[in-house]
Chains A and B, each alone.
Chain A
Amino acid sequence: MKLKDVLSPLRVWERAAQKPWTIKDPINDRPGADNYRGFHKNDFSKCIGCGTCEEICQNDAIDIVPVEGQETVDGDSGLRPMIDYGRCCWCALCVDVCPTGSLTMSNDYTWIADDPEDYRFVPGADKTKWQDSTVGYTRSPDIQILDYNRVDMLEIKPEDRDKSFIEIVKGYNKEQAIKEAERCIQCGLCTATCPAHMDIPGYIAAIRDDDLDQALRILYETNPMPEICGRICTHKCETACALHNNGDPLAIRWLKRYIADQIPADKYQEILGTAHLVDEQLNRKVAVIGAGPAGVSAAYYLAIMGYKTKIYEALPASGGMARYGIPEYRLPYDQIDKDVEYLKTLGVEIQYNTRIGEDITLEELHREYDAVFAGTGLHLGRSTRVPGSDHSRVYFATDMLREVTLGNEIDVAENIVVIGGGNVAMDITRTLARLQNQKYGKVQVLATCLEAEEVMPADLEEIVEAREENAVIEPAWGPKEIEIKNGKITGLHVSKCLSVFDEDGRFNPRFDEEQKKFFKADMIVESIGQGMDLSYLTEEIKAELKMTPRGRIEVNDKFQSNLKWLFVGGDIIEGPDVIHGIANGYVAARGIDSYLNSK
């Protein structure tokens, strides 16, 4: 034993003179670090109730519950996370995964309550002492639990596409589609928002598992036009996608297209198990007017239910506005045919070139069939009615697009102005740009609209691509007069548009008459909306039929008019877009079924 070892421990007494470490005051708070994972906070203005926090919580501590005052709207389920602190382990994975960044943590960690139930609470709804805390754990921008970057879609370059109507978007291959499908968080906000309420997370999961047969079956549960919808749907689902809050939304539309593109038409019957339908038809007949999305959808679900269904189409091919209103570079005609041809294998007849009201009357259909579904679309143009708009070289976009599809010669001018800022306006602008390029080797088409660029109704990609194809877009100008000299159009006078809607939200544009411009043109196309052609309604039917104050046919929630046998849907009721038409057709088919069964 060394003497040092005996004496050295006595130096412990040195510490008696040192300042103690212990916090002497236990009453005051000792705040957690700025990064501390304390009690949760939730910013309701950002939260969309996607439930990813609930999904990821490995303790099942989070339930997503209805909260008073939170409405369910597109892109927000109206539900909010309730956290059970009896289960929470404060790992903050819910915070890291939150796509909106609404869920955060305070640095507060003490809470005393009498009732154990208090420890199950909805952060953001229930008052807490830490709700205004500015510090605590938040999602770091440097890490990614979810994948916010979309798999790029390959497109044909502007210089390769601006003279032809070749399809621009190439579509995903298998590897890309699975990678994109893996980004989905299965929140289902898309399903709630989709007018057809498609099981989007379901078919995306099937893509992930590379089970395309199952994916197709899921598509056809609610949507019999996947090729069409997979290309030109207005994809409200993507706007609602939770990932959109912090990055690119999931490319739902392209994934849908991927499923349909991968499966050849002749496999559909086998996969969907519909071969027996033709032989098992009921002795009940339904007529469908119009082979557009609404008509096709109604006919499909009627056929599935066993009804003998016949579609009457005024034009020589199917697709309705999807064919005659949308250019081929966005939706190739053979893809429309693929969807419609499959319909024919179910025993649905389609009679083309037959206009109801001219070739057959609606009464005749009523007599011959048990029920009638009309999805006749918006094929008429609307005029700006500015001075000069009655000139023969002023056209409606809808008419012109139809002529292009029908293959008729268009007398394309060298300078064209398109009035309108929606997708149809972009369609005609880009169609005319191609035709000009073919004819003159250059593009001199200009589109102008009332709305400022940020609020233009057209999809952003349409505007970008139109510009890539050398079309000029001039937003926020209001047409005032079409100048005509010697019987020929010379151009369009416009004034700066300051606002489109008034305080009550009504269409009432305000102009700054001081700011003027003149767009040179020798041909003008109006694309400011479409109107419906209800000329097939005879006077007798019109007298009985109830209309809404806005001139639409009044229908119930099954799209049934007050004439019980007549169901109406599609653009003339809702939309205008493809997916509303498909959704209407589905609901109407079920309505017709319950009407006929109760007859």
Chain B
Amino acid sequence: MSNLSSSKYRGYEADRSKYPEMKNGKAVIDLDSHKYTKIWQGPQHPGVTGNMSVELIVNGDEIVWAKTHVGYLHRAFEKLMERRKYIQCFPLVCRICVPEPDTNEYCVSAAMEDLAGITVPEKAQWLRTLNLEMSRIGSYLMWLGGQAGSLGMGAIAQWTVGMRDFWLDLFEEMTGGRVYHMYMIPGGVRKDLPDGFKERARDLIIRTRRLLSDVENTFISNALVKSRLQGLGIITPEMVDEFGIVGPNARAAGRGYDIRINNPYVKYDELDVKMITSTVGDAYARAQLRYNDLHQSLDLVSEILDRMPEEGAIQAEMPNLVNWKIPPGQTYVKAESTRGEHGFYMVSDGSEKPRRVFARGASYTHAISVLEKLAVNISISDLAGLMVSLHTCPPEIER
């Protein structure tokens, strides 16, 4: 916490003692004064996490004003779903988040099941849990690479993204797809595990742990990383409440909220999920928390593989899904993605198509408003690191 009191303080309320001048709560920035430069980071830039951009006004290296811009990736998934039958929605929603598509698949199927009053069989629940937890591992590995890469440590990015590919191999065996799995359908899942899957998964868990020990050595206990990330982008508990920050970003600020524990879904109520929190709230605390979360996910996958029943139905008894009508109603279902609470609000009107679907991704808050606040008074070279440390995923902002 020593950083907080130092001159490197980069907290929520920006230090405006030097510049720019504030009037009525707004920064007075005269670009013609040649004191400031306006630059854009993104939408095409290796330092942004996806297709969004941050409009910056800098004074020297220091960001004095930031505004986030989205709209480069809008594919109207929510609207498209209103024109598709319920069964046609699952191939769409996985595209809402590329590194972690399964949370979307789960939410959209669970929303339909909730509205239609369908109970998913035990085995299918276990398979869904496995799928979701594997997806968290894939997403964290990708994030780890991004965080290291944003600090210029390309080698670590190559290790972790390479390791993610081995997890994608498992997905490929299990679901038939590497990136977009399209595995969960209303009522259950599409396939049971192939022969020998569990052994290969256990083997990969061991390999991943070995990699993580390397990451621990080179990234987590790295003086350079610490000097770059500690004190960067501090989220205070008050900010968590004010902005609605969720997931690791909130947990690193001391607000313990994990849907797997607080509102367990699929089989999480039977699994030993521990609440991992930190109190520092800076980018380094978030990195450490995610690193620990990744270890916990590996434990959970291992536990799921041990406890999953061999036999059982993988889909509930369903009507003809081509003509499937869901009685009128509305529901909100949520699941814990690696970025936090991921929710789907769905309204049915008794027809064959959803009346309204709303996908709520954690990045909506993290990437648009939180980033805008945290970016002020930091060095322009830290912006990429900050953005990744919030684990923003622009596609889920623009559904």
List chain A positions with a Cβ less than 8 A from chain B: 1-2, 4-6, 8-9, 11-12, 14-15, 21-22, 32-37, 52, 55-56, 58, 89-93, 96-97, 105, 137, 140, 142-147, 179, 182-186, 208
Contact = CB atoms under 8 A, between A and B. Distances in A.
Interface in B197-242: 214, 217-219, 221-224, 226-227
Interface in B165-222: 165-166, 169, 172-177, 180, 182, 185, 187-192, 194, 214, 217-219, 221-222
B38 interface: no
Contact of B162 (A4, A21, A35, A105): A21
B323 A33 contact: no
Given A9-B224, A14-B214, A93-B88, A142 B314 contact: yes
A11 B214 contact: yes
B322 interface: yes
Contact of B176 (A21, A37, A89): A37
Nearest to A36: B176
29 contacts: A1-B226, A4-B221, A5-B226, A8-B218, A8-B221, A9-B224, A11-B218, A12-B214, A12-B217, A33-B172, A34-B194, A35-B172, A35-B176, A56-B85, A58-B88, A92-B176, A93-B91, A96-B190, A97-B322, A140-B190, A140-B314, A143-B185, A143-B187, A144-B315, A145-B185, A145-B320, A146-B320, A146-B322, A182-B320
Contact of A185 (B89, B92, B214, B322): B322
B98 to A, nearest CB: 14
A8 B175 CA distance: 39
A146 B321 contact: yes
B270 to A, nearest CB: 23
Interface of B: 84-85, 87-92, 155, 159, 162, 165-166, 169, 172-177, 180, 182, 185, 187-192, 194, 214, 217-219, 221-224, 226-227, 313-315, 317-324
B320 A185 contact: yes
Contact of B182 (A55, A56, A91, A183): A91
A91 B219 CA distance: 38
Given A1-B223, A90-B177, A145-B322, 12 more contacts: A12-B217, A33-B172, A33-B173, A33-B194, A34-B173, A36-B177, A55-B322, A56-B322, A58-B89, A93-B91, A146-B320, A147-B318
A36 B321 contact: no
B1 to A, nearest CB: 16
User: Top 3 A-B pairs ranked by shortest CB distance?
Assistant: A91-B91, A58-B88, A5-B223
A58 B315 contact: no
A20 to B, nearest CB: 9
Nearest to A204: B323
B217 A8 contact: yes
B222 A147 contact: no
Contact of A35 (B189, B194, B217): B194
B218 A92 contact: no
A35 B87 contact: no
B224 A137 contact: no
A37 B223 contact: no
Interface centre among A11, A91, A183 (most CB of B within 10 A): A91
Contacts of A96: 185, 190
A34 B221 CA distance: 41
A577 to B, nearest CB: 29
Contacts of A35: 172-176, 191, 194
Nearest to A92: B176
Contacts of A5: 221-223, 226
B210 to A, nearest CB: 10
A143 B176 contact: no
B315 A33 contact: no
Contact of A6 (B89, B180, B214, B223): B223
Main secondary structure of the interface of A (DSSP, over half): loop
Given A34-B173, A56-B87, A89-B91, A142 B192 contact: yes
Interface centre among B227, B322, B324 (most CB of A within 10 A): B322
A306 B273 CA distance: 79
Contacts of B176: 33, 35-37, 92, 105, 137
Nearest to B214: A15
Nearest to B224: A9
Given A5-B223, A143-B188, A143-B315, A12 B322 contact: no
Contact of A142 (B175, B218, B313): B313
Contacts of A144: 315, 317-318
A97 B324 CA distance: 13
Contacts of A12: 155, 214, 217-218
A518 B227 CA distance: 104
Contacts of B90: 91
Given A12-B214, A58-B92, A143-B185, A184 B323 contact: yes
A58 B221 contact: no
A9 B218 CA distance: 4
A173 B336 CA distance: 45
Contacts of B92: 58
Nearest to B314: A142
A93 B223 contact: no
A537 to B, nearest CB: 51
Contacts of B218: 8-9, 11-12
Contact of B217 (A11, A33, A145, A179): A11
B19 to A, nearest CB: 31
A97 B85 CA distance: 14
A2 B223 contact: yes
A42 to B, nearest CB: 18
B147 to A, nearest CB: 15
B190 A143 contact: yes
A8 B222 CA distance: 7
Contacts of B214: 11-12, 14-15
A402 B314 CA distance: 55
Contacts of A137: 176
Contacts of A9: 217-219, 221-224
A93 B276 CA distance: 39
B323 A145 contact: no
Contacts of B155: 12
Interface centre among A35, A143, A185 (most CB of B within 10 A): A143
A155 B64 CA distance: 82
Contacts of B323: 182-185, 208
Nearest to A38: B176
A58 B84 contact: yes
A140 B322 contact: no
Given A11-B217, A21-B162, A32 B172 contact: yes
Interface centre among A21, A145, A208 (most CB of B within 10 A): A145
A12 B90 CA distance: 42
B173 A182 contact: no
Nearest to B216: A8
A97 B194 CA distance: 21
Contacts of A34: 173, 194
A493 to B, nearest CB: 53
Nearest to A90: B177
Given A6-B223, A34-B173, A92-B182, A182 B319 contact: yes
B177 A93 contact: no
